[in-house]
Amino acid sequence: MYLINMGMHIYLSLVLQIIITIVLILIAVAYLTLLERKVMGGAQQRRGPNILGFGGLLQPLADGLKLFMKETIIPSTSNSWLFIFGPIFTFMMSLLGWLVIPFGENGGLASFDFGVLYSLAISSLSVYGVIISGWSSNSKYAFLGALRAAAQMISYEVSLGLILGTVFILAGALRYNIIVESQLMIFYILPLFPSAYLFYVSILAETNRAPFDFAEADQELVAGYNVEYAAMGFALFFLGEYCSMILMCNLTSLFFFGGWLSLFSEVYFNVFSLFSIWFGLKVSFFLFCMVWVRASFPRYRYDQLMYLGWKVFLPFSLAWVCFVSSLSVLGFIN
């Protein structure tokens, strides 16, 4: 009986942690949209949202309520089951990626030796939601947007794996906590600056962000693979995209900027053992940079995107991982 009660207690505690994590992620996504609109407004010399609440703080809640109350429309010529399943699958994949992300030295919801491989696997599965939604819509624009997004995500995933190979060589592990702890003396941004730069540009392409937002190019595809979606279907795609943005910025902090480690000392600053102040500041900075890039740089041509991925990033990342591996074999780095 005692073991049963203990098991129930652990199970309820895990469920509560999952619910709290999902709620915090959704709140972060909501106010990331407000940050983006404010920064874009400032870059374009306009005010941005400023009506609902103090400084527009209630605008994300109003937008979410509006999408929730709208009617869900399913095109008569679409494959209705796959049409509904596409955004749900995309949103679920974006949430599952958070399962192994540590928020502090105590870890996250789950922690195992091959956590990084799990994150890469979930990232590669996300492309199926885009393909399913574009194909099931039975629309030329949606299908073309899905093909673009699939080719783009697959192209840059190849480089991402090679880029992270240099981090694994220096850390000697695929576990997030060990990777962060190995940066106690020096953050990997210094010895692996080329890897960090390529990684950040690659996650812009991986999340379909400007200047690589070809899957949603308004001038060419109206809205891309989600052109036929409205109400909660569109909201789930929207939440999945911004959730993936926050997740990728978390990975940037973990791999190259020491995660929750302080810049000036070995002290850990944790709030409720769940979230690090340093970690949050670093992730917020990378998210701001994503918005700043969108406000500053024009969109690439699609052929330039593919040229950059296959003829620049891939050869350079392959040569760089070979160089770092050689230094490791020769004993110059441990």
> E-strand spans in the chain?
270-271, 275-276
Q: Are residues 158 and 91 in the same domain?
A: yes
Question: Is 142 inside any structural domain?
Answer: yes
User: What is residue 248's predicted lDDT score, i.e. its pLDDT?
Assistant: 93
What is the domain extent for residue 90? 70-330
Q: Flag the least confident range among 74-88, 169-183, 216-230.
A: 216-230
Q: Are residues 15 and 155 in the same domain?
A: no
Q: Are residues 155 and 222 in the same domain?
A: yes
Tokens of 250: 């978390």
Question: Is 64 inside any structural domain?
Answer: no
State the average pLDDT for the chain. 84
Total length of the chain: 334
Question: Is 63 inside any structural domain?
Answer: no
**Amino acid at site 320:** W
Q: What are the tens digits of pLDDT across the range 91-105?
A: 999 999 898 888 766
User: How many Å apart are CA 148 and CA 48, to the nearest integer?
Assistant: 31
User: How many Å apart are CA 274 and CA 102, to the nearest integer?
Assistant: 8
Q: Flag the least confident range among 11-15, 88-92, 274-278.
A: 274-278
Domains identified in the chain, total number: 2
Q: Are residues 18 and 146 in the same domain?
A: no
* 231 in Cβ contact with 72 (< 8 Å): yes
Q: Are residues 219 and 85 in the same domain?
A: yes
Q: Are residues 52 and 121 in the same domain?
A: no
User: What is residue 204's predicted lDDT score, i.e. its pLDDT?
Assistant: 92
Q: Give the ranges where 55-192 is alpha helix by DSSP (H).
A: 59-69, 80-96, 115-136, 140-171, 176-181
Q: Flag the least confident range among 5-19, 27-41, 42-56.
A: 5-19
Question: Is 65 inside any structural domain?
Answer: no
pLDDT at 274 over 70: no
pLDDT at 320 over 80: yes
